[in-house]
């Protein structure tokens, strides 16, 4: 399980680096004073519980270079282990104070660029979590090359969505790009959320359970991120 988990964290980290490199040459103009909002987001992030139903979380570290290059306001990166099956899933939430920093953080770009093959077409997903409809996308990737010392791992299921500061969620870069072009929204940023699991280890029922319980635990934070500007 450790090897599989390391690969998943490595893939998420590579996505962060890809996002940062895509945006590093952009010129950031000053925007409206959103500092109090971003402070509230950080405070809400600190309150996300480690217990999520049958899943128990443990923080994982992302490389400091990746974090520094992405300019995040908030990062939550955790393993969640099921207390009954011992299976692991990975949870990553990146919230940036400038939505342009999220434009390159997109699975169909960063996973293939770092040795993963997309093995199925993206599937639009609508999840219901405690009354909130989340619009996202499910991806599946299989590693085609791995760093020295890593054993082969199976297909990774990436359940992915974006949270915008007007309270909406979106499936892909279209919503983030629109927010980046909107002077009223772009400095309130946005968030990218992923729940990653091994296709062979979890049943579909377990995968749905993990997603819903972990996202439910993070829901007050997601609602805080969505409270930056009026729709």
How high is the pLDDT of residue 30?
A: 46
User: Any residues with CB less than 8 A from the CB of 114 and at least 6 apart, and which?
Assistant: 11, 14, 15, 18
Q: State the CB neighbour count (10 A cutoff) for residue 64.
A: 8
93/192 Cα distance (integer angstroms): 6
Q: Is 107 a member of any domain?
A: yes
Domain around 193: 2-225
Q: Are 176 and 102 a contacting pair, CB within 8 Å?
A: yes
Structure tokens belonging to residue 208: 């749905």
Kindly state whether residue 230 falls inside one of the protein's structural domains: no
**Would you say residue 124 lies in a domain?**
yes
Structural domain contains residue 70: yes
Report mean pLDDT in 10-residue bins for the chain, 231 residues: 49 50 44 86 98 96 74 94 95 90 78 85 96 96 69 81 95 86 87 94 94 98 92 65
pLDDT at residue 31 in the model: 57
Question: How many domains is the chain built from?
Answer: 1
Q: Do 190 and 162 meet the contact criterion of CB atoms below 8 Å apart?
A: yes
Q: Is the pTM of this model over 0.85?
A: no
The answer to whether position 211 is within a domain reads yes
Instruction: List beta partners, residue 118.
Output: 141
The CA distance from 38 to 160, in Å, is: 22
């Amino acid at each position: 399980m450790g090897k599989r988990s390391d690969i998943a964290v490595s893939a998420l980290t590579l996505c962060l680096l890809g996002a940062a490199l895509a945006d590093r040459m952009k010129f950031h103009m000053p925007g409206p004073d959103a500092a109090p909002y971003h402070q509230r987001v950080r405070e809400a992030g600190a309150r996300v519980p480690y217990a999520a139903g049958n899943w128990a979380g443990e923080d994982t570290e992302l490389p400091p270079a990746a974090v520094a290059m992405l300019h995040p306001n908030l990062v939550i990166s955790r393993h969640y282990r099921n207390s009954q099956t011992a299976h692991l899933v990975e949870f990553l939430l990146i919230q940036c104070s400038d939505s342009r920093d999220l434009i390159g953080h997109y699975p169909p770009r960063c996973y293939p660029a770092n040795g993963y093959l997309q093995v199925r077409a993206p599937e639009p997903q609508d999840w219901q979590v405690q009354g909130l409809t989340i619009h996202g996308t499910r991806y599946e990737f299989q590693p085609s090359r791995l760093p020295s010392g890593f054993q082969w791992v199976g297909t990774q299921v990436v359940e992915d969505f974006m949270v915008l500061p007007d309270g909406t969620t979106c499936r892909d870069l279209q919503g983030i790009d629109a927010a980046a072009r909107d002077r009223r929204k772009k400095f309130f940023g946005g968030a990218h959320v992923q729940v990653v699991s091994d296709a062979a280890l979890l049943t579909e029922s377990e995968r749905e359970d993990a997603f819903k319980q972990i996202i439910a635990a993070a829901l007050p934070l997601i609602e805080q991120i969505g409270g930056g500007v009026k729709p």
